[in-house]
Structure 1
Amino acid sequence: MPRRTLWLAPLLLSLALGAAQAQEPAGYLQPSTAIRQVLDAPVPPRPWVSPDQQTLALMDIRPYPGIDELARPVLRLAGLRFEPGSGTPQPLQVLQRLRLRALNSSDAPERTIELPAGGAFHSFAWAPDGQRFVLERRMEQANELWVGDTASGRLRAIAGLRLNNALGQGEQAWLNPQELLVLSVARRGPPPKPTPRPAVQEASGRASPERNYADLLQSPYDESLFEYHARSQMVLVNVATGAVREVGEPQLYASISSVGAPGTPQYLLTERVARPFSYDLTWDDFPTVVEVRSREGRVLKELTRMPMRKGVAIDGVLIGPRVFYPSPSKDAAVYWIEALDGGNSNARVPFRDRLMRLDPPFTGEAREVQRMPHRFTQLRFLDDGQQALLTETDRNRAWVRTYLLPLNGTQSKPLFEYAQRERYRHPGVPLMRILTNGHSVIRTSPQGDIYMLGAGFKPKGEQPFLDRLSLRDGLSAHVFQSSETVYEQPLALLEGNRLLLSRESPSEPPNIFLRDSAGLHALTQMRDPTPSLRRIHREFVSFKRADGVEMSFWLNLPPDYKEGERRPTLVWSYPLEFNDPTLAGQISGATSRFARYSGLAPQLLALDGFVVLSDATMPVVGDIRSINDGFIEQITMNARAILDKAESLGVTDPKKVAIGGHSYGAFMAVNLLAHTDLFKAGIARSGAYNRTLTPFGFQSERRSLWDSRETYLRLSPLLYAQQIKEPLLLVHGDADNNSGTTPLQSERLYHALAGLGGTVRFVSLPYEAHGYAARESVGHTQWEMSHWLRQHLGEPRP
């Protein structure tokens, strides 16, 4: 053979192998039969009690759309994704079956609502009195509104109405049980045509530290296309008669809500987007005009013109009025928040925010209701019309405080407070109810107490609770708490002290029960859809890392595991930041629950023979303002503690352990591969690996790249790619729209590792966003993970 041919032979062979690798797989690959059966198993229905507490809706939602659903035409404009024909977001949570059941009797029959063929039904919602419900149906060129009668189950479409969900994303507002305000497609001609024009961006010397966003406007054509599809018309629908009436003029409505109670003068509170648009920000940071309108749509008062959210400091807020709340009560007031620190969270001021109020007829000056020493978080009205709960957050201490706020102007009082990461002493969240105007408010008892629903985190596992909290003295008492052996989650407190709850145990799938003085009554009869998961031995394991911080993981042993075997193991984790080491040790999860997992769950790999240490805690403890300075050292300490514990249990071969994670967990996993030799392989899904591409903050990091250059560079595993000697599987959705995790992150890491001679595989999933939705994508991802572990850790079974 000629010398030149001899020299070319290895290159030709290499190119041939590379071509084979690039072409494989020819299509989507299927996971093992055991995993595929779990992925295709039915999921429990979603329950929703009607506002009048007389009817239970059970909704069967399609768990995974097909890839053809994700491949439907979609526009990506100003941070939005919607179909141009129907204006609906993609993918939809499609309703496959709808059932109704009366709650006035434990043996009432269940009725299936016949959904007409064609299109895709979605977005179920009750009318405020529970006598009707509404659905939407996506068709190719329209999104329809359908009204159902609860008593008869009959459905009818509102003729001639095309909903516009492009900007409002399903925005609706009930005025009373019969009248529903919706956004419809405004009268319009053909869509704009692209015309080549320069796209110009300009900075004028003012700092504007923006995060990285996907699907932004990029040209004047994008601007005109966004405006064309986002412009909508308010329409008032009488759900009893089907009559429709246009309200006001077409605008770029972003939010609509009713103000005031039925039977008294009611108004509308609208927020609409205005020009100029931005190529750096998403639509909800564009200039916004907030107005109070009459029921007929006439503008009564322009409350503010919020400027574009540009030039706002990291962790800062806009100057001037922001975050508007319509009163659900007969006072018909409008509330909003204003910054007292110039919008700068680093400014040292006695008060950071204040709550303002403006009453009808909206011609006078707004008055101050309450000042807050820390940043406003939330306002929730009580159903008595006289009080509200006002919540603020101290970002430096990571502390949350809630006040009981009288709306008549008298002084508020602290009701409860806790650390942001607090689990064990978390008071829960208020139980809400729906008023006749559709507003959700905090439910009070006849004695004036409120009810709190909580997960009930405890050292031995979760025990959900329903408490009654006294607003007079702040003391609480259990109305109900789940036991340690059976997991019962309260869903609704019905008349006559009856409790609707979801009940499950390690051997019983979740079902809906009614608990009353006579005992428990099953309302659903779902059987175990995934019996193979019952053969996975699942155990909660706790331990300590070197500095004494408590840690834990869930041990998942394969169905065929035999005592004493040391098997290849996958550790799956996600880092969380804590400013208090005692909080870092608080556990979540419960051994009393029925094991069921999402399609992307790593626990399913136990069915293929691997030991899986899932939900392995990865605490990063320190001052929240500089916590990432020690990120590498802390995740290394965590990883060593996890591996030591797994080895001491006798279930793991310490030379055959992989580390994996999704999103920030993927970032953690690749950093561990870059800075330690603790693992033999890695799996990283949809992560960020070059922090210079997220220069104005990420996760809990508040400093910019230029404020903390060394931290950003050290936490960029791409810059340490030469130190990654272990095989790494990278998976990313090619349409990832999560801030900071652009697919470019995985592409560049792959190119770096391949160029340096590393062992790496990059799987790009078509049409998928940050989390993977399609049945084909979910199954293929499970195949990739199982195949990678088998290839680089060895066969899982002895």
Structure 2
Amino acid sequence: MGGGGEEYARPSEALERVLDIEEEPHLIEDPSARWSVVASYRALAFSVADISRPLVETGGLCFDPQLRTPHKALFAHAFTLRRLFSGDGPHAAGGGGRARDQGAPLGLKEDAEHDGANDVAVEGLPADAVGFRYFRWRRDGGKLAFAAKVPDGDGFALRLFVVDLDSYLAQQNPPKSITARPLLENRTLTAITNSPFRFLGDGASLLCMCAPENQGPPPAEETVPRGPNIKENLTTKNAPARTYQRLISSKRDEELFEYYTKAEVVLVQFGGNNTTFETVLEPTRGGAMIRSISLSPDKRHFLVSLTTKPFSWTLPYYKFAKKIEVWTLSRPLSFHSAMSSHEAALGDHPQYPKRASVSAISFEAEDSAYNPVDFTHQAVLDNNNKVKENGWADPDLDEMDLAEIEQRMTYHGKVFLQDGRPRNPVGRTGMVGRGLLGKWGPNHAADSIVTRYCPKRPDVLQMVAIQRQDTGHWALPGGMVDPGESVPVAMKREFIEEAGNVDMTHEKLAAHRKKLDQLFEQGTEIYCGYVDDPRNTDNAWMESAFIHFHCDKELGDNIPLAAGDDAQSVRWLDVDESDEAFAKLYASHKSIVKMAAGMLSGDEALRPFAVQVAEIRTVVDLPDQEGMVISFDARPQGPRGIMWHWQKAATLVFDFALDEGNPKLEAKERDAVFELSGPFRLADYVKDPMLSPDARLVVKLDYRISGISWSKASAGLCFVTESWRKTRQTRKWILREKRAVTVAAAAAAADTDDDAIASTTLSSSTCDSGIYEPKVLMHERSSDDAYASTGSIQVAADAFGVYHLQYQTIKNELAFDVVGAGASPVGSRPFIDRLFLDPKGDLSQRRTEHIWRSPLGPEADASLVDTSREPGGSVPTQRQALYEYPAELFPGGEWMLLRRESNDQPPDFFWRQLSTGKEWRITRHAHPQPALVGVRKELVKYKRDDGLDLNGDLYLPPGYDPKRDGPRPCLLWAYPREFKSSKAAGQVKTSPHRFTRTSWSRPVTWVVKDWVVLGFASPIVAEGPDAEPNDTFVEQLRANAQAAVRLLLDRGLGKPGGFAVGGHSYGAFMTAHLLAHTDLFSAGIARSGAYLRALTPFGFQAEERTYWDAPETYAKLSPFSHAPKIAQGTGKLLLVHGIADENPGTFPIQSERLYDALKGHGAITKLVLLPHEGHGYTARESILHTIFEQETWLDKFVLPAFDDNAEIPSQVCASLLGQSMDLDVDAGMSSLVDANMKSQTRVRMLGGMAAATVLVIVAMRALSSRL
């Protein structure tokens, strides 16, 4: 007996050397897989001093109040950038690297170290930076943002940096380093409830979360209490809650929560020439408790979730009440924001009919009277490029593939479709069709802004202007970009045709062209995007690139101007509002020229990218989740999971429980999914969204929705997954959007004239009877059945940051890229499949093509291979002891970034060209733990006494031969898991060829001390709809352990008395039970477990019943109840716990009270409490001390069995050696009933109510003692 504080100790050198290592570099690829961050981390990255810094715990949060990051946030200590892929193909290790043909020897051992040929160092970082985190890539890999951790006073602060890879690659001979640029140098970033920054959409802006400017000091620490802390419940409504940690428990905690979760949203917008503009969104000025914020696909709106008061004292912050809002921006947030003006597009054009009236420009705003004119000029129809050679116009929509339109390049964002037509990004124009524009969607032009200062009035800025022939307006010289023509070439060509059509001699013309070449040599991009043009319609619009070329005096005085082509005349025009010609410049040209003038003069008020919140709409106010039923299948009442619809410009989608979120209520259908369009009216319809005029039903489901994803809008497909946790059933459905039927198509189907069935208005040219056709079942399975998993369709973001399922079109079929883990009886073998379906045909008629699969191991039994899921349809003839996984898959599956590993080779990355099988190596990682080289890993299969198939990962020391060397000490480690079927419980979900590594938390470390280690399966099966796994938990746990030990005995790997068992969290709970109810183990290691289930009365792990629903089960499953059994047993229990354990249910008192109970019954035991540590341990000193304690404990109680003169007690492993063991799980309860009764006395289980009373008393005493 003893105790007290001690200094930290360290384990043997062999164990410390294998744990205190530099990990192999981590690759963080950009979404386009062009670049990767190569980040370096230490395995033991923290010190006790690091985790002892002041922290704040409130609302379920734990964070560093000065750094404003989560407590124990891990930072890389160094990083570099590596180029992976370019237009020329993969960038291999060694700079050139040769491709290896598929099937050629790997040559892993003879490969040299990576020589850094493709690595780029990052310079310009603070010399005192101690770490780097929050690496955020722009969608196309053109920019990287990250945070540096730098000293700040007596603590640390985050500093934001950005690296411009596009500018780096634009250099003729890029150097081996790149300079990072600091941003927001005078602001404090905050990462307490959100990522501190991220790129939005296409990457034009960086959304940053900053502490409010001029925020005062935090609430002062209370040295004298204001008064008692009071909780009260003034309603009779049930309000059960899990045992969450770090909750609000005082008024000061409330003040701290509000102070630290408030943030200002700062937009950093990137302009040309490395300029940036910073804007604080006004609704957040002074701070707002933002829980989440996301940008709509059309870049015009933010969906914002805000925490609202009052704060709950029984729930973590993510279950607090919240307000959902939509913030409409003054202009889109994209590289080239659309002009906010929309006047010319509503006006007259001499060749157009009169437009319909428009009462609401935005398509999100309701305009029930909108009746647009349908007009396409005859000149456009006559130049149909499918009919006329060299025609410049698209055919009618019926003759086009909508996917082609959807994928067209647009400056401001994605082309969105509405009613099967492209939709004007700014709004309604009163006209549909194409007018005079040839292309559906964006029509691209190039316009040059050529300026000079007037020779006679040097303070007056002038511009070259041409007078248009069609409208008579003065305008910038420019015109349409021809197919295949670049913007600079088109701009120069149009300028010459319209403003430089001079009649000169050959020599003078050559000199003139030379001056023009000089003029167009260098320009400044002013604006690219939507132009408010009188030719625009709802379905076709002008977009243009405007580049400013300013002439010096000599050049400006000597450029001759002459009108030509579409221009009546040309002249130098004063940039002056008082000049009528300038004041009435064509389309948006005046505002764009003013932007150029402002940038030339340095006037920031005229900067082109200013954006602000123009309107705020409340979508819904949602209450906190107090009172929600405790069940894995329970959900909050009302709308939930509100998010943007991927396929639509600005439409929300949300889930809704049809059974009030209560799985105990009878209901035919459990969940529904709705769409919600602007103006997003939901607040008054939270009980029945169907009553909202803006809501439309998407689908109803029998189970809970667990996932939803979309194809591109042109395909109109939606994939919905539903699941029911209680039965483990899951289904995946395909939905197809109903397409509006055009007048032409309807007329063709009816064999009648167009005019006989419709007028020239869009509203009468469509007929819509709902959003989606009836859902089609894609597959149904048990979520436990890993063998039946068909994988997941890959998700990709397009160039504008809009997500969609990854596919390509092959012969009118959509081919979706599917990746799966590939669990199988011979081990996990990840795969790539291609799912084919006809988006316009029968969705139930699908086919799957198997493209690639991880190699089959040489030890695999060929009879267990399912050839129907193999590429080629047969057992692979070439076998390799490798595990491969696709880290990245390019759309279409041509290129795969492959991660490959083997038992002795750490994961490395390769580019593989799937069509040829050729490979290019990207990394060459050295083994981070050389002591593990030679460790033999084996996937073992065996059976439980009841016939249940079991499996595990067996690790044998290097060179160990049981026949020659005899049995060795054995450490068994597990984590129990629940299943609904025996078939699923016995499935193999690992690979014998994964890289053998270890960490402080894993048992594999012990092979370096010549131990045998078995990570064994411990399934708890409850077959049948009403069966509960915990009703037979102890019995199954014992059977699992017996089967594992029997395996080791039968193979001669272990001997009676030489077995130890351990686990973490639920594995610790398991360990305590095994020492109580088996005779198999001489020692047990239980880290951060829960041992008294009365302290988690509203459920734990997979248990949904409350303590009062199943008191007998709670008693039986409390190792605390069985302390006498543990004391009498063969195993000695080591308890380890972090004093600051944050995990629900595993408070440190769990280990403290079990230790007290064991000590009280004379058990040999030890409790180690680690200061400042949570559920998982992080400080180097804590980790090494934990390993020291485990090593000392195992050496003391297991190794003696291997002494030559060791006498093994007869009861050790008696249950496996022919003797019986009385499994009595009730003896522990007897000691609670009668403290004077000897622990050896056996009594029967108390009745349910008596047991409940006893455990409540125990729990109350434990808690009061703790307080």
Normalised-by-shorter TM-score class = over 0.9
- 2:1060 aligned with 1:658, yes or no? yes
Question: Relative to structure 1, is the Cα distance of residues 656 and 563 closer, same or farther in structure 2, using a 3 angstrom cutoff?
Answer: closer
Q: Secondary structure at the match of 1:199?
A: coil
Counterpart of 2:1001?
Answer: 600
* Counterpart code for 1:667: F
Counterpart of 1:63?
Answer: 43
CA RMSD between the two structures? 2.1
- 2:307 aligned with 1:273, yes or no? yes
Are the aligned partners of 2:22 and 2:42 in contact in 1 as well (CA < 8 Å)? no
Q: Distance in 1 between matches of 2:1058 and 2:635?
A: 48
Counterpart of 1:432?
Answer: 795
Q: Distance in 2 between matches of 1:444 and 1:667?
A: 46
Q: Distance in 1 between matches of 2:998 and 2:804?
A: 33
TM-score, normalised on structure 1? 0.93
Q: Distance in 1 between matches of 2:1003 and 2:1092?
A: 25
Counterpart of 1:8?
Answer: none
Counterpart of 1:734?
Answer: 1139
Task: Report the CA distance between 1:574 and its aligned residue.
Answer: 0.8
Q: Distance in 2 between matches of 1:740 and 1:299?
A: 45
TM-score, normalised on structure 2? 0.59
Deviations 1:642-668 (A, max 9, x none): 111111011111222122111111111
* Counterpart code for 1:492: E
Are the aligned partners of 2:903 and 2:995 in contact in 1 as well (CA < 8 Å)? yes
- 2:84 aligned with 1:102, yes or no? yes
Counterpart of 2:298?
Answer: 261
- 2:820 aligned with 1:454, yes or no? yes
Are the aligned partners of 2:648 and 2:713 in contact in 1 as well (CA < 8 Å)? no
Task: Report the CA distance between 1:48 and its aligned residue.
Answer: 3.1
Q: Distance in 2 between matches of 1:535 and 1:773?
A: 28
Counterpart of 2:863?
Answer: none
Task: Report the CA distance between 1:795 and its aligned residue.
Answer: 5.1
* Counterpart code for 2:1147: T
Task: Report the CA distance between 1:416 and its aligned residue.
Answer: 2.5
Q: Secondary structure at the match of 1:449?
A: strand
Task: Report the CA distance between 1:245 and its aligned residue.
Answer: 0.3
Counterpart of 1:177?
Answer: 203
Are the aligned partners of 1:206 and 1:311 in contact in 2 as well (CA < 8 Å)? yes
Q: Secondary structure at the match of 2:976?
A: strand
Task: Report the CA distance between 1:384 and its aligned residue.
Answer: 4.3
**Which of 126, 132, 137 is the matching residue for 1:126?**
137
Question: Relative to structure 1, is the Cα distance of residues 623 and 696 closer, same or farther in structure 2, using a 3 angstrom cutoff?
Answer: farther
- 2:658 aligned with 1:340, yes or no? yes
Residue range with higher mean Cα deviation, 679-688 or 359-368: 359-368
Residue range with higher mean Cα deviation, 508-517 or 739-748: 508-517
Deviations 1:705-725 (A, max 9, x none): 000010011100101111112
Are the aligned partners of 1:74 and 1:83 in contact in 2 as well (CA < 8 Å)? yes
Q: Distance in 1 between matches of 2:832 and 2:883?
A: 13
Task: Report the CA distance between 1:236 and its aligned residue.
Answer: 1.1
Q: Distance in 2 between matches of 1:182 and 1:329?
A: 26
* Counterpart code for 1:785: Q
* Counterpart code for 2:206: L
Q: Distance in 2 between matches of 1:753 and 1:453?
A: 50
Counterpart of 2:147?
Answer: 136
**Which of 5, 9, 22 is the matching residue for 2:4?**
22
Question: Relative to structure 1, is the Cα distance of residues 713 and 183 closer, same or farther in structure 2, using a 3 angstrom cutoff?
Answer: same
Task: Report the CA distance between 1:405 and its aligned residue.
Answer: 2.9
**Which of 851, 861, 865 is the matching residue for 1:479?**
851
Q: Secondary structure at the match of 1:34?
A: helix
Counterpart of 1:370?
Answer: 699
* Counterpart code for 2:279: R
Q: Distance in 1 between matches of 2:190 and 2:204?
A: 21
Q: Distance in 2 between matches of 1:416 and 1:145?
A: 46
List alignment gaps of at least 5 residues for structure 2.
Answer: 96-117, 169-177, 330-611, 682-692, 739-770, 839-844, 857-880, 1204-1267
Q: Secondary structure at the match of 2:1055?
A: strand
* Counterpart code for 1:395: R
Deviations 1:112-138 (A, max 9, x none): 324433243101011122100111223
Question: Relative to structure 1, is the Cα distance of residues 627 and 87 closer, same or farther in structure 2, using a 3 angstrom cutoff?
Answer: same
Q: Secondary structure at the match of 1:509?
A: coil
Question: Relative to structure 1, is the Cα distance of residues 509 and 53 closer, same or farther in structure 2, using a 3 angstrom cutoff?
Answer: closer
- 2:940 aligned with 1:527, yes or no? no
- 2:404 aligned with 1:419, yes or no? no
Are the aligned partners of 2:903 and 2:937 in contact in 1 as well (CA < 8 Å)? no
Q: Distance in 2 between matches of 1:73 and 1:577?
A: 39
Are the aligned partners of 1:211 and 1:696 in contact in 2 as well (CA < 8 Å)? yes
Alignment of 1:346-745 (within 5 A): 346-362=664-680, 364-384=693-713, 386-407=716-737, 409-410=771-772, 411-447=774-810, 448-472=814-838, 473-484=845-856, 485-494=881-890, 497-516=894-913, 517=916, 519-559=918-958, 561-564=960-963, 565-623=966-1024, 625=1026, 626-725=1028-1127, 726-745=1131-1150
Are the aligned partners of 1:94 and 1:122 in contact in 2 as well (CA < 8 Å)? yes
Are the aligned partners of 1:375 and 1:394 in contact in 2 as well (CA < 8 Å)? yes
Counterpart of 2:265?
Answer: 234
Are the aligned partners of 1:273 and 1:288 in contact in 2 as well (CA < 8 Å)? yes
- 2:232 aligned with 1:202, yes or no? yes
Deviations 1:756-796 (A, max 9, x none): 21111111122221111222222222222121111111258
**Which of 744, 757, 768 is the matching residue for 2:1162?**
757
Q: Distance in 2 between matches of 1:615 and 1:548?
A: 16
Counterpart of 2:245?
Answer: 214
Counterpart of 2:288?
Answer: 251
Task: Report the CA distance between 1:292 and its aligned residue.
Answer: 0.9
Counterpart of 2:361?
Answer: none
Question: Relative to structure 1, is the Cα distance of residues 518 and 211 closer, same or farther in structure 2, using a 3 angstrom cutoff?
Answer: closer
Task: Report the CA distance between 1:474 and its aligned residue.
Answer: 3.7
- 2:750 aligned with 1:769, yes or no? no
Larger Rg: 2
Task: Report the CA distance between 1:46 and its aligned residue.
Answer: 2.4
* Counterpart code for 2:44: Y
List alignment gaps of at least 5 residues for structure 1.
Answer: 1-16
Residue range with higher mean Cα deviation, 148-157 or 604-613: 148-157
Q: Secondary structure at the match of 2:962?
A: coil
Task: Report the CA distance between 1:621 and its aligned residue.
Answer: 3.5
Task: Report the CA distance between 1:674 and its aligned residue.
Answer: 1.8
Are the aligned partners of 1:790 and 1:796 in contact in 2 as well (CA < 8 Å)? no
Counterpart of 2:625?
Answer: 309
Are the aligned partners of 2:1018 and 2:1037 in contact in 1 as well (CA < 8 Å)? no
Task: Report the CA distance between 1:178 and its aligned residue.
Answer: 1.4
Q: Distance in 2 between matches of 1:234 and 1:492?
A: 32
Q: Distance in 2 between matches of 1:464 and 1:122?
A: 30
Q: Secondary structure at the match of 1:781?
A: helix
Task: Report the CA distance between 1:566 and its aligned residue.
Answer: 1.7
Task: Report the CA distance between 1:546 and its aligned residue.
Answer: 1.1
Are the aligned partners of 1:56 and 1:103 in contact in 2 as well (CA < 8 Å)? no
Are the aligned partners of 1:354 and 1:369 in contact in 2 as well (CA < 8 Å)? yes
Are the aligned partners of 2:21 and 2:44 in contact in 1 as well (CA < 8 Å)? no
Q: Secondary structure at the match of 1:698?
A: coil
Are the aligned partners of 1:61 and 1:97 in contact in 2 as well (CA < 8 Å)? no
Task: Report the CA distance between 1:439 and its aligned residue.
Answer: 4.7
* Counterpart code for 1:308: D
Q: Distance in 1 between matches of 2:37 and 2:850?
A: 27
Are the aligned partners of 1:765 and 1:777 in contact in 2 as well (CA < 8 Å)? yes
Residue range with higher mean Cα deviation, 770-779 or 311-320: 770-779
Task: Report the CA distance between 1:239 and its aligned residue.
Answer: 4.2
* Counterpart code for 1:132: K
- The structure that is strand-richer by fraction is 1
Alignment length (residue pairs): 775
Q: Distance in 2 between matches of 1:780 and 1:615?
A: 26
